[in-house]
Structure 1
Amino acid sequence: MDQGDTQGEGRMERKKRETRQKIVKVAMELIQRQGFDSTTMEQIAEEADIARKTLYNHFPVKEAIVDEYVRGASKGLARETLSNLYKLPDTKTRLLETLDKAYEWVEFNPEIVGITLGYRHKNMCRGPGYSGGETGTQSIMAEIIRLGQETGEIRRDISIKRLVMQLDIMRGAVVMDWLGDKSRFELRKEMAKIVDLFINGAMQRDGSKV
């Protein structure tokens, strides 16, 4: 966690954060060792040496624990990408770099990504209190689009939030399709096509018909 995230943090807030981190660590170790379906909330509480009530106060279901783990990984990847972002020449290159790095991680972690997406889709209509906040990939895409608008590459009459949402919808659909049958296409190559679609649109550029 960044130092800036904990500045001004009181004792209770620190204890709560440390407990959540411990739960996530223990739960993911159990899941990686014996599988998601075989891991129960009771096992997680016992292994973390906390009361079940404490566990449920932090996470209502084990899917929420996996979601927090994925969000943490996403923020870590975003921090790594951000350090190199401003050296890249344009919006398309920045998006390609960001999504390639993010979906390389997804390719290695398909099961937990599927669990996370299912959990998020189930909660997306329940209001902002259930969303878990902005992911690392969303934050880095917002910064890329902001830079693109600043340099005139990206139109300014559509908000950054709306443009990020459009990218989210497209990349989410691709991931769900890939999770259904990973042999049909290469995920990172398909994401590169999504970036091209976002930047250039769907019209055939050379005038030919397919």
Structure 2
Amino acid sequence: MEPGDMLVESRMERKKRETRQKIIKVAMDLFQKQGFYDTTMEQIAEVADIARKTLYNHFPVKEAIVDEYVRGVSKEFAQEIIDSVKNLPDTKARLLAALDKAYAWVEINPEITGICLGYRFKNMCHGSAYNEGETGTQRIMAEIIRYGQETGEIRRDISIKLLVLQLDILRGTVVMGWLGDKSKYKLRKEIAKIVDLFIYGAVDRQESQAKAGGAITEE
């Protein structure tokens, strides 16, 4: 490949990125002004001043635009959250603080979150090739778990990827339940229970401690 070819390729990639960013901004503005379901792909293309074919080349459906927007938001605050929790005393405290901050945003943006999660679950259930890379929240959890393994708090015989997946399944179930009926429970309090379950398992620690104390007394 000639140097000139590399320059042309770089310009093409930059233009592609700028077009995607423009589409996301225009679409999110329209969703906010007139609602997600009242906005069409044709309107997005018209306001963004691009051909409909160009829009569909970047995003097949409106939900894909929302998904990329949410991914961008989560990646923006990922490093900030990681830096803010790394000095906390243990893995549980780090996960609690990190996820509390992440889900504070979710509580403020339930509709966007629901659209995004629905799109992801739909793709997974249909067996579609859906690999958009690590989300910001997944990166946060992976970093916290990695540090926990390094310090000996978290078992090392299970991969970080699998541990993050387990947390993903648990927190995804909680969020979808909350989105279906926000009166059922406080989202961040339920997420805190999920962290406790992840760290300690399903054993009732108070009951176990009481039994252990009783056994010592009998001896």
Q: Mark yes or no: TM-score above 0.5.
A: yes
Flag as ranges the 4+ runs of structure 1 deviating above 3 A.
125-129
Query: What's the CA shift for 1:80?
Result: 1.6
Q: In the alignment, what sits opposite 1:6?
A: none
Task: Look up the equivalent residue of 2:39 and give its one-letter code.
Answer: T
Larger Rg: 2
**3-state DSSP of counterpart to 2:207:** coil
Where 2:39 maps in the other structure, the secondary structure is coil
Q: Please name the residue that 1:31 is paired with.
A: 31
Counterpart CA distance in 2 for 1:206 and 1:182 is 29
| Paired letter, 1:138 | Q
Q: Deviations over 1:103-122 (max 9, x none)?
A: 00000010011111110011
Q: For structure 1, which runs of at least 5 residues remain unmatched after alignment? A: 1-8
- In structure 2, how many angstroms separate the alpha carbons of the residues matched to 1:127 and 1:16? 27
Taking the aligned partners of 2:118 and 2:205, their CA distance within structure 1 comes to 36
Q: Once the 2 structures are TM-superposed, how far is the Cα of residue 86 of structure 1 from its aligned partner?
A: 2.1
Kindly provide the amino acid, as one letter, of the partner of residue 187 in structure 1. L
Q: Choose 86-95 or 62-71, whichever is displaced more.
A: 86-95
1:107 to 1:48, Cα distance in 2 relative to 1, 3 A:
same
- Name the aligned partner's letter for residue 135 of structure 1: T
Distance 2:164 2:72 in 1: 19
CA-based RMSD of the aligned residues comes to 1.6
Shift of 1:129: 4.2
Write the distance in 2 (CA, Å) between the matches of 1:127 and 1:89. 40
Q: Which amino acid aligns with 2:148?
A: G
The offset of 1:126, in angstroms, is 5.8
1:65 maps to 65
- What is the distance in 1 between the residues matched to 2:16 and 2:133? 18
Give the Cα separation in 2 of the matches to 1:145 and 1:77: 18
The structure-2 alpha-carbon separation of the partners of 1:75 and 1:182, relative to structure 1 and needing over 3 Å to count, comes to: same
Whether 1:207 aligns to 2:185 is: no
Normalized per residue, the structure richer in helix is 2
Deviation of 1:18 (Å): 0.7
Q: How far apart are the structure 2 equivalents of 1:105 and 1:87?
A: 23
Kindly state the Cα deviation for residue 90 of structure 1 after the two structures are TM-superposed.
Answer: 1.1
Distance 2:45 2:123 in 1: 24
> Does 2:140 match 1:121?
no
Q: Please list every run of 5 or more consecutive structure 2 residues that lacks an aligned counterpart in the other structure.
A: 1-8, 211-219
Equivalent residues in 2 for 1:45-124, closer than 5 Å: 45-124=45-124
Distance verdict in 2 for CA 1:27–1:49, change over 3 Å: same
- Provide TM-score, normalisation by structure 2: 0.88
Identical counterparts, % of pairs: 76
1:128 deviation in Å? Answer: 7.9
**Correspondence for 2:217:** none
- Count of residues in correspondence between the two structures: 201
Cα shift at 1:21? 0.5
Cα offset, 1:125, TM superposition: 4.9
Q: 1:13–1:127: structure 2 CA closer, same or farther, 3 Å change rule?
A: farther
| Aligned residues of 1:124 and 1:130 also touching (Cα < 8 A) | yes
The 3-state SS of whatever aligns with 1:174 is helix
